[in-house]
Amino acid sequence: MSSTSAPDPESALAWFRIALGDLAGACALADDDGVPPRLAAALAQQAAEKALKAVIALAGIDPPRTHDLVSLALDVRSRGLTIPDAVDLAALSDGLRSGRYPDPDETPTERSVIIDLVAGSRIVLDVVRGHLEANGVELGAGKPSVGPNSSL
């Protein structure tokens, strides 16, 4: 990981916009009965992950290459942001595993569980949004993005 000497609001904004896009995708998939629920779980995890990485990027640090939301939450806590206990970060982290590497012997995740994971991800994004805004990041409409250099 590299560090810069100053906060990097542009990088934080890019990560957050990608998180918004992933959350929008998770919400759309969670509402579609024709789509396996595991796909919404994976995108919900990705949205939370990228939002937490926005906080790290704001500090001028390249976010670590990890999908572990619990370790990312510990990192952002040292930067003044605490994720509410109501969000089950371990279950949300597991959403990526089950989404990417489904076990054919595993019972499919119930849609109600997916709805809870998406709600948890939304809470993470709401908390991160407040943190970014409080630290001078201008989110504007907070439109989703498909990549750090996207103009969407």
pLDDT tens digits along 25-65: 999 999 999 998 999 999 999 999 999 999 999 999 999 99
For residues 90-113, average pLDDT: 85
Domain 9-134 has CATH 1.20.120.330: yes
Is residue 81 pLDDT above 50, yes or no? yes
Question: What dihedral do alpha carbons 72, 74, 80, 83 form, nearest 10°?
Answer: 80
Considering the entire predicted model, what is its pTM?
Answer: 0.88
pLDDT band at 151 (very low <50, low <70, confident <90, very high): very low
Mean model confidence pLDDT for the chain: 89
Q: Tell me which of 13-22, 52-61, 104-113 is least confident.
A: 104-113
Region for residue 101 given its phi and psi (left: phi exceeds 0; alpha: psi -120 to 50; beta: otherwise): beta
